[in-house]
Chain A
């Protein structure tokens, strides 16, 4: 027990911050690490799943068609299972399931693995929605130019799909920052887990979790802003430069969107 016991809410907060600052910091780092890598891997996983689910059925090869059907069925099952069960349950099943068959994963790796496949299932549907929402005519134009399905996807459809779903990707990231807290059930040292141990020592649950809530809020708020900035950057300029008749670039005129020429 401290020599002079804090007596007010604010005294407790500053006392706990002083004493457990490093713990909070470590927990925050782990939370961000798990949420960020989980979102990135989840995005890549979802991208692959969505791409496979939107491959057109081959008219020529029967074998390819059947293989694709099987693939789609399995991927569909993966999505249903991981969207249809809570991540907290998935963590238990995967972590302890692996342990029973003799695989002891490091908890951080397990955490990233679980968040990634969970996010992947959501991302797959988000990205598929993004792909479907891209104007079909543009995909047809790629075919009419002689591009293959892949070229059309890579150069025209996916860039637009990904841009359109940036808000949803950001949302998944925010969800992961918050929901990685359930990983405390497998003892991942993320922010919630660290907070619990900090709270236990003096039984100051309210003060500790008040601090924890503030940290989560700062994290999610800054991530949201950052992603908004990224979207702006992706959109590029809202004006373009008329290619001047004089080769001197300073003589070119800049036109605002919707402006008359």
Chain B
């Protein structure tokens, strides 16, 4: 089977600061991939380049074998490649329901009634159905992030990108969001997740990428990467992080 995403020689520089040097990997249908690495190693920049929130300065991103930058319409591509942000980024002028309806109506041109039905369906899935009339400001962090996931799901994306979805949450809310993500993974959704939650990466991911110095230094199954990392840098990083998490 052909991969959904093929990223080759992806490069991103800000001025003369080369943040992504040479990123290469593929994402297959249904794969759950976690991306780990120290702060500032370029994880967010990589995700933001994949959906063109940042314009890459080199390399190619193929989506279903076609160049995402030139052969796909940007809006169509972005609708297919969903994103969940660390800071939720819910539209604060809209209710929870409207947040989930907006993309469907304006991008996919779904009629309102149908869009609302789908919104309710996914809000129920993330356990937020009863909050449909609330405004984002009235929700807790964990609730906001679950709504953000439902909003992304409403577009029926083919792959979901997560940028540290639990890093802005109070500890007691991390579980509810990871729970939703675990359910999603089990349902076969293709996901690329930047996270510091090592146990989640170990239990849920099929592959873990370790990013360091603008490249993917190690790409392995979690069992392998966590118990028997090949690179010295990976070992150091895991020691530091796991010491902190225990």
Binding site for B on A (CB under 8 A): 59, 135, 137-138, 140-148, 151, 155-156, 159-160, 163, 236, 240-245, 255, 257-258
CB of B151 within 8 Å of the partner chain: yes
Whether the Cβ atoms of B134 and A147 lie closer than 8 Å is no
Whether the Cβ atoms of B133 and A243 lie closer than 8 Å is yes
Whether the Cβ atoms of A145 and B102 lie closer than 8 Å is yes
Q: What's the interface size class on B, roughly?
A: 35 or more
- Whole-angstrom distance between the Cβ of A232 and the nearest chain B Cβ: 15
When the two chains form the complex, which single residue of A59, A137, A144, A160 contacts B93, counting CB atoms closer than 8 Å? A160
Complex-state Cα separation, A159 to B94, whole angstroms = 10
Q: 7 interchain pairs (CB within 8 A)?
A: A137-B88, A137-B89, A144-B51, A147-B106, A240-B134, A240-B135, A243-B133
User: Which one of B77-85, B111-119, B182-190, B193-201 contacts A?
Assistant: B77-85
CB of B241 within 8 Å of the partner chain: no
Whether the Cβ atoms of B129 and A140 lie closer than 8 Å is no
Cβ–Cβ < 8 Å partners of A135 in chain B: 89, 92
B115-149 at interface with A (beta carbon < 8 Å): 129-135, 137-138
Complex-state Cα separation, A253 to B155, whole angstroms = 30
Whether the Cβ atoms of B93 and A163 lie closer than 8 Å is yes
- Whole-angstrom distance between the Cβ of B170 and the nearest chain A Cβ: 15
Complex-state Cα separation, A160 to B92, whole angstroms = 8
Cβ–Cβ < 8 Å partners of B82 in chain A: 144-145
Binding site for A on B (CB under 8 A): 51-53, 55, 75-80, 82-83, 85, 87-95, 102-103, 106-108, 129-135, 137-138, 151-152, 155
Cβ–Cβ < 8 Å partners of B83 in chain A: 141, 144
Whether the Cβ atoms of A146 and B155 lie closer than 8 Å is yes
Cβ–Cβ < 8 Å partners of A245 in chain B: 130
Among A135, A141, A147, A243, the most chain B Cβ lie within 10 Å of the Cβ of: A141
Among A138, A147, A255, the most chain B Cβ lie within 10 Å of the Cβ of: A138
Cβ–Cβ < 8 Å partners of A242 in chain B: 130-131
Whether the Cβ atoms of B89 and A243 lie closer than 8 Å is no
How many Cβ-Cβ contacts under 8 Å join chain A to chain B? Answer: 90
Among B80, B131, B155, the most chain A Cβ lie within 10 Å of the Cβ of: B131
The residue in chain B whose Cβ has the minimal distance to the Cβ of A159 is B93
Whether the Cβ atoms of B85 and A137 lie closer than 8 Å is yes
- Whole-angstrom distance between the Cβ of B59 and the nearest chain A Cβ: 16
- Whole-angstrom distance between the Cβ of B166 and the nearest chain A Cβ: 16
The residue in chain B whose Cβ has the minimal distance to the Cβ of A59 is B55
Cβ–Cβ < 8 Å partners of A257 in chain B: 137-138
The residue in chain A whose Cβ has the minimal distance to the Cβ of B105 is A155
Whether the Cβ atoms of B103 and A146 lie closer than 8 Å is yes
Whether the Cβ atoms of A240 and B106 lie closer than 8 Å is no
Complex-state Cα separation, A163 to B102, whole angstroms = 19
Cβ–Cβ < 8 Å partners of B87 in chain A: 137
Cβ–Cβ < 8 Å partners of A255 in chain B: 134, 138
- Whole-angstrom distance between the Cβ of B213 and the nearest chain A Cβ: 26
Whether the Cβ atoms of A156 and B76 lie closer than 8 Å is no
Complex-state Cα separation, A196 to B95, whole angstroms = 53
Cβ–Cβ < 8 Å partners of B107 in chain A: 145-147, 151
Known contacts A146-B78, A155-B102: does B132 contact A138 (CB below 8 Å)?
no
Cβ–Cβ < 8 Å partners of B88 in chain A: 137
Cβ–Cβ < 8 Å partners of B130 in chain A: 242-245
Whether the Cβ atoms of B92 and A155 lie closer than 8 Å is no
Complex-state Cα separation, A245 to B130, whole angstroms = 8
Known contacts A145-B79, A146-B76, A148-B75: does B92 contact A243 (CB below 8 Å)?
no
Among A137, A145, A236, A245, the most chain B Cβ lie within 10 Å of the Cβ of: A145
Whether the Cβ atoms of A140 and B89 lie closer than 8 Å is yes
The residue in chain A whose Cβ has the minimal distance to the Cβ of B135 is A240
Whether the Cβ atoms of A143 and B53 lie closer than 8 Å is yes
The residue in chain A whose Cβ has the minimal distance to the Cβ of B55 is A59
Whether the Cβ atoms of B91 and A141 lie closer than 8 Å is yes
Whether the Cβ atoms of A147 and B75 lie closer than 8 Å is yes
Cβ–Cβ < 8 Å partners of A240 in chain B: 95, 131, 133-135, 138
Whether the Cβ atoms of A156 and B155 lie closer than 8 Å is no
Whether the Cβ atoms of B76 and A141 lie closer than 8 Å is no
